[in-house]
Amino acid sequence: MITRDLDAFFAFARGVDVDAGPATPRAAFLVAPDGFRLAEQSATDNAYMADAAAFDAQRASAQHRDLQRAISAVLPTVCFAGDPATPDAVFPNNAFGTAPGRSIVGRMRHPVRQREAARADIRAFFRDVLGRDEVDLSAQPHPCELTGSLVIDRARGLGYCGLSERCDEAGAALMHAAFGLRATLVFDLAPAEYHANVVLAVLAGRAAVVCPRGFADQAVADAIAGFYAPRAIVCNDAEHAAFVGNCIALSADTVWMSAAAAGALTPTHRASLDEAGFRVEAVALGAIEAAGGSLRCCIGEVF
C-alpha cells in the first residue's frame, strides 16, 4: 500500500506485526567532509544552510571523526573518503541506502549531488564486498533522496515519505518498492522543509520524534504521533530548529543526536525517551550543521 489516506494507512499499520526485520542497523557508513564548503545548488532549497563564511572545513573534519569514533562504540562504522567535487557527500544517506540483500542508489535533485550517486567505490563496496543486489534509481527522472525523504519504521516495514523538491510522488513509489515496504504514507512537507528526516524520526519501531511545523498538514503529524503514543515526542519550535527531529536509534537502547539538539531537548522529552528505553547520546556537530543537516543525515545504515 502507498497512500495519502491517513485512515487507510493507519488502519493497515495497526494490523502489522513487528516482524519485518531488525529495528536498528547492523552497521553504519559515513563519508568524510573532504572539501567541506557551501554547496550553492543545495542552498536554493535548504533553509537550514548557513552562509559560506560559516563553513569551517577543519572543524567539520574533526567533528566527523568524533562522530565515527562515538558510534563505533555501538556498531561497526565504515568511513569513505570524501571528494571536494561533492561538498554535500557528508550526508550519504540521501544517495545510498540498504535493505536486506539490496543496496539502493537514489536520484538526487541537484547535479552537485548527483555526482555522489556515481561513486564506483561505494557501489562496489555494497555489490562486491557485501554481496548486495543493486537497485539503481539514479538514472530515472524522479527525485527520490532515499532516507532523507523517506523515514522508515524498519520493524514494521512502514514508510513515511515527505514530498518536496527533493522527492515527488513517483519517486516515493520507486523507493517504496526498492526498500520492500509493506505500506508508505505520502504527505507534503511544509514549504520551508526539504527532507522528512529533519522533522520526523522513528526510533527502533518503539517511539517517534515529530516536529509538527515541518508538515504542510498538521493532521499528518498528529496521526503519526498518535500511532506511536505514548512514546511520541512532539517537538517545540526550539527543538525543531536545533535538529532534535534529525535523530536516530543505532541500537535498541540508544538514540543519537547532535550536541545542539540534545541541549535543546526539554527535560520532559528527555524523560520520555528514557521511559521508552533510550539513552540519549550526543556528538558536537556544529560545523557540519552549517551545511543544513545534522547527525542522522551523516549516517548511512546497513541492514
Q: What are the E-state strand segments in the chain?
A: 2-3, 27-31, 77-80, 96-99, 102-105, 133-136, 150-153, 158-163, 183-188, 200-203, 207-210, 232-234, 248-251, 254-258, 279-283, 300-302
Over residues 227-236, the pLDDT tens digits come to 999 999 999 9
Give the CATH number of domain 2-302; options: 3.40.50.620, 3.30.565.10, 3.40.50.970, 3.75.10.10: 3.75.10.10
φ/ψ (deg, to 5) at 299? -110, 120
Q: What pLDDT score does 193 carry? A: 96
Q: How confident is the model at residue 44 (pLDDT cuts 50, 70, 90)?
A: confident
**What is the Cα–Cα distance from 257 to 246, expressed in whole angstroms?**
7
Q: In the sheet where 2-3 sits, what is the strand order?
A: 2-3, 183-188, 158-163, 150-153
Query: Residue 126, SS3?
Result: helix
27 beta partners: 302
Interacting residues of 274 by C-beta distance below 8 A, sequence separation 6+? none
Give residue-wise pLDDT tens across range 200-257.
999 999 999 999 999 999 999 999 999 999 999 999 999 999 999 999 999 999 999 9
Q: What is the pTM of this model?
A: 0.96
Residue 85: CB atoms within 10 Å: 11
Are the beta carbons of 174 and 137 closer than 8 angstroms? Answer: yes
Residue with cell 522508515: 152
Averaged over 146-168, what is the pLDDT?
Answer: 98
End-to-end distance of the chain based on CA atoms, in angstroms? 22
pLDDT value of position 241: 97
Amino acid at 279: R
